Structure 1
Amino acid sequence: MLMHHAEPTMGEVSKTRGDVHAYAWVVFALTVGLLLSDYMSRQVLNAVFPMLKSAWGLSDTRLGSLSSVVALMVGVLTFPLSVLADRWGRVRSIVLMAAMWSLATLACAISTSYGEMLLARAFVGIGEAAYGSVGIAVVLSIFPVRMRSTLTAAFMAGGAFGSVMGMAIGGAVAAHLGWRSAFCAMAAFGLLLVIVYRIIVTEKRLAPLQPAGNSVKAAGLDMRMSFRALMKGLFSTRSIVCAYVGSGFHLLVPAALWAWMPSFLNRYYDMAPAKAAIGAAVFVMVTGLGMVVCGILTDRISKNAREKKWLTAIAFCVACFAFLAIGFQMPAGPLQLVLIGAGMFFSAGATGPSGAMVANLTPPSIHASAFATLTLANNLLGLAPAAILTGIVADKIGLLGALQLVPFAPLLAAIVFFIGKRTYARDLDRVATLREEASH
């Protein structure tokens, strides 16, 4: 998902021309292609959950841990690896990261035990950890500023599309050739893209499309900022902390349902693993569509009143809770699936509002660090624990019982967002004052 990546650390792009260099679109396509590979490698596991459970006799807790370990690695390593990528070179870092997650996915295919698979999945997470922030940094640095919102939305949606492809294609391959072949297919796609990216995209060819000196200047500012000053900027107000925490909690729903929906359809709707994977992919698509629509709605509703971003975030979380809470109490059937789909539409709806809150509540000079902190919160509070916690509960009361508890996460997020909204106006004034002082 996406939903959870840092803004670029390169400086503001000064291009204002109406035209865009054709090479920039090639870079965009290849970078989004690698993002698809990123999420295909991550989500193919969920498509073969039923097969792994049968082959190795795994508990739901262990199945969940194979999914959660990736998000855990991403959450822990996003910040430090993004800093290293800035120093070592973004293009080289992208090639190394994509090669690592692809080879780790191949290692999943040849794993012979739960322990080996867990280790391989951890390396998938290490490879993917900084790709979101580094990839979007490369893309936005070579396009005009006026296109940033569109490009960012398209890049974020790539996570959902990659998840869909990972589950649907992985499920289909697994049904015909076995679960090991599903991992091999994802690894082969990733390695092929790595080779193409390495040949076509270079720092030398990107340089003419980037504003001279901006990245160096930005890096210099970051290096001169003390750790204490950085922490003060990142956690200066109650509302910024609520934005981090609320965003993390609300993403527990899509993470849990993306991981367990194939198994849910397999167990409660008697769908074969391949059909269940395709069915689950539809719900992932609904989540991605909802993310984009909710973001557009938030921008329109809060155009003249920025505090309304909090209201939209609260509304999306409450809607998600209501639809899913009712849906999972319904008997199996079309109505239940419609209600679950409605809940999934809003399940990541607060992603856009949360990002806007973080941007508004932190100085521009530390936006990259602020979005890295948001990514950390998203992973550690929502994306990482979702699958394994659901699995632990499922081992005790069944998967349906566990999924009936999942909707309470966005309800908790709504409460956190409500607390943040109460001090938002005052905190905005405080941040504005700090910005004025820093400019003098």
Structure 2
Amino acid sequence: MRTATPPTTHKQDGAHPSREQARFAFYVLLAINILNYVDRSVISSIFPKLQAEFGLSDAKLGLLNSSFLLIYGLCTLPLGVWADKGVRKNIVAVCVTIWSIATALGGFTRNFVQLFITRAFLGIGEAGYAPASLSMIGDYFPKEQRGRMLSLWSIGNLIGTALGLLIGGHVAEAWGWRWVFYLVGLPGLLTAFLIWRVTEPKRGAFEQGHDTENEAALAHGSIGADFFKIFKKLLLIPTYWVIVAAFICSFFITGAALTWVPTFLVREFGQTLSQASNISSGVLGAGSLVGTLFGGWLADSLQRRMPQGRMLVTTIAFLAGAPLTWLALSFHQLPIFITIFVIAIICLTMCLGPIQAIVQDIISPTMRSTAVGLALLLGHLLGDAASPLIIGIISDRTSIGFAMRLCAPLCLLLAGLVCLIGLRTVNKDMQNMEAQLHK
């Protein structure tokens, strides 16, 4: 009689995992993704505590998040190449261990430089797990299930961000900010051990060719050896550069919001850390979930009626989000701010799904991995890696409210105006891509 192999059985690279092993591995990878976003977002909720103890300027506070995101953006691509060559479960285990230890060590720091270094190492660890995780999920499940599993894995982004903002303020108020790093860092070591013990799936286990790797590449992107050759072709696709600009602007706003909204609530509305954590996690989490789901549905519906459907939703999202964000940040009554800001977040996140889909509409499959990798690299370096520091510098000279009101609406407006160009070019670029497929 055949007996089921326990889901944690350790095997070498190239095994064909059972359904139970695949599901166990997926749950571990989902937990890792949640912890990833908990660890990266939790520091924003304790900025007032860090500023009071270390005497930090807003620019230095912003630099703590910018350092992590800068290192994250720079390391994503080379670590993605490693994921294409190495044993992926071991890569994930190593990266999770690095960022978990770096997070926990943040609680032992005694000055800005020490804390800055721990956050930089956090970026190294977190940059390596995503490409390997996505590739593993692609090989654990057949193609007809893969989209659903990748979507479920991606929900960990929102769950982790909301939990990080929520946990940080409450723990810091109750036990001090150092305990925040201890509590959110150590669980990662358990998940690192568990993922190390799972079965490494064979690459392309459910299909011939490169479909599995392409699927992972579409979700994360990587730049390969043909980068300069592909880059020359990308220069001839105007809609792609519209999307790159949209990536930069959306990442800029996302980085600014996740970094500074809790501090904004403390300073502008006199909220405690726990109150600011409750509001920011609820507003950003709920608004992002609704906006992402609604934007994806609306974009797909319009795309069936017109070739510019997805670009139209993206354009409207940015142009509507600009005045709503300015209006929300201008009110000094907390209930009004929350109401309008939730709507603004919904508008902003409506573009997340359509932007990704447009890349697939206009870029041929052989170029998509590099196209996505380049867009994400520029989005991180010029967007969410830059915005925390820029907002902090402006805030030191004015106020956090003025800095947010100046940068956020302006960036959204610029994104919307750029996307208006995309409305004119996307149809032609889609036709060109289809023509290339049928050559």
2:182 corresponds to 1:202: no
| Preserved contact between residue 233 and residue 363 of structure 1 (Cα < 8 Å) | no
Q: Which residue of 2 aligns with 1:87?
A: 85
Q: Which residue of 1 aligns with 2:269?
A: 269
| Preserved contact between residue 102 and residue 188 of structure 1 (Cα < 8 Å) | yes
Residue correspondence of structure 1 range 21-420 to structure 2 within 5 A: 21-199=19-197, 201-203=198-200, 206-207=201-202, 210-211=205-206, 214=209, 226-285=226-285, 286-405=287-406, 406-420=408-422
* Matched position secondary structure for 2:50: helix
* Matched position secondary structure for 1:311: helix
Aligned amino acid, residue 402 of structure 1: A
Stretches of 4+ moved more than 6 A in 1? 216-219, 222-225
Instruction: Give CA deviations for 1:126-147 in whole Å, capped at 9, x if unaligned.
Output: 1111333322221132223233
> Displacement of 1:353 after TM fit?
1.2
User: Measured at CA, do residues 147 and 58 of structure 1 come closer, stay the same or move farther in structure 2, by a change above 3 Å?
Assistant: same
User: Measured at CA, do residues 209 and 369 of structure 1 come closer, stay the same or move farther in structure 2, by a change above 3 Å?
Assistant: closer
Supply the distance in 1 between the matched residues of 2:223 and 2:371 (Cα, whole angstroms).
15
5+ unaligned residues in a row in structure 1: which ranges?
1-19
| Preserved contact between residue 161 and residue 288 of structure 1 (Cα < 8 Å) | no
Instruction: Give CA deviations for 1:113-158 in whole Å, capped at 9, x if unaligned.
Output: 1111111111111111133332222113222323343333322221
Supply the distance in 2 between the matched residues of 1:306 and 1:430 (Cα, whole angstroms).
13
Q: Which residue of 1 aligns with 2:218?
A: none
> Displacement of 1:53 after TM fit?
0.7
User: Measured at CA, do residues 348 and 72 of structure 1 come closer, stay the same or move farther in structure 2, by a change above 3 Å?
Assistant: farther
Number of aligned residues: 414
* Matched position secondary structure for 1:306: coil
| Preserved contact between residue 70 and residue 122 of structure 1 (Cα < 8 Å) | yes
| Preserved contact between residue 29 and residue 133 of structure 2 (Cα < 8 Å) | yes
Q: Which residue of 2 aligns with 1:430?
A: 432
Supply the distance in 2 between the matched residues of 1:369 and 1:100 (Cα, whole angstroms).
27
Aligned amino acid, residue 202 of structure 2: A
| Preserved contact between residue 247 and residue 350 of structure 1 (Cα < 8 Å) | no
TM-score (normalizing by structure 2): 0.88
Supply the distance in 1 between the matched residues of 2:183 and 2:58 (Cα, whole angstroms).
25
Aligned amino acid, residue 402 of structure 2: G
Supply the distance in 1 between the matched residues of 2:250 and 2:365 (Cα, whole angstroms).
25
Supply the distance in 2 between the matched residues of 1:67 and 1:272 (Cα, whole angstroms).
21
* Matched position secondary structure for 1:22: helix
Q: In terms of mean alpha carbon deviation, does 243-252 or 230-239 score higher?
A: 230-239
Q: Which residue of 2 aligns with 1:9?
A: none
> Displacement of 1:361 after TM fit?
1.6
* Matched position secondary structure for 2:438: helix
Supply the distance in 1 between the matched residues of 2:267 and 2:58 (Cα, whole angstroms).
13
| Preserved contact between residue 244 and residue 378 of structure 2 (Cα < 8 Å) | yes
Supply the distance in 2 between the matched residues of 1:202 and 1:302 (Cα, whole angstroms).
40
* Matched position secondary structure for 1:322: helix
| Preserved contact between residue 242 and residue 420 of structure 1 (Cα < 8 Å) | yes
> Displacement of 1:247 after TM fit?
1.9
* Matched position secondary structure for 2:333: coil
* Matched position secondary structure for 1:251: helix
Supply the distance in 2 between the matched residues of 1:245 and 1:153 (Cα, whole angstroms).
25
| Preserved contact between residue 142 and residue 206 of structure 2 (Cα < 8 Å) | no
| Preserved contact between residue 329 and residue 404 of structure 2 (Cα < 8 Å) | yes
| Preserved contact between residue 251 and residue 348 of structure 1 (Cα < 8 Å) | no
> Displacement of 1:202 after TM fit?
2.6
> Displacement of 1:106 after TM fit?
1.6
> Displacement of 1:112 after TM fit?
1.1
Q: Percent identity, aligned pairs only? A: 25
Supply the distance in 2 between the matched residues of 1:382 and 1:427 (Cα, whole angstroms).
25
Instruction: Give CA deviations for 1:73-99 in whole Å, capped at 9, x if unaligned.
Output: 222221221011111122111111111
Supply the distance in 1 between the matched residues of 2:402 and 2:225 (Cα, whole angstroms).
49
| Preserved contact between residue 153 and residue 292 of structure 1 (Cα < 8 Å) | no
User: Measured at CA, do residues 173 and 295 of structure 1 come closer, stay the same or move farther in structure 2, by a change above 3 Å?
Assistant: same
Aligned amino acid, residue 387 of structure 1: P
Aligned amino acid, residue 121 of structure 2: F
* Matched position secondary structure for 1:190: helix
Aligned amino acid, residue 77 of structure 1: C
TM-score (normalizing by structure 1): 0.88
Supply the distance in 1 between the matched residues of 2:397 and 2:100 (Cα, whole angstroms).
35
> Displacement of 1:348 after TM fit?
2.4
> Displacement of 1:396 after TM fit?
1.0
What's the RMSD between the two structures over aligned residues? 2.4
| Preserved contact between residue 65 and residue 388 of structure 1 (Cα < 8 Å) | yes
User: Measured at CA, do residues 60 and 143 of structure 1 come closer, stay the same or move farther in structure 2, by a change above 3 Å?
Assistant: same
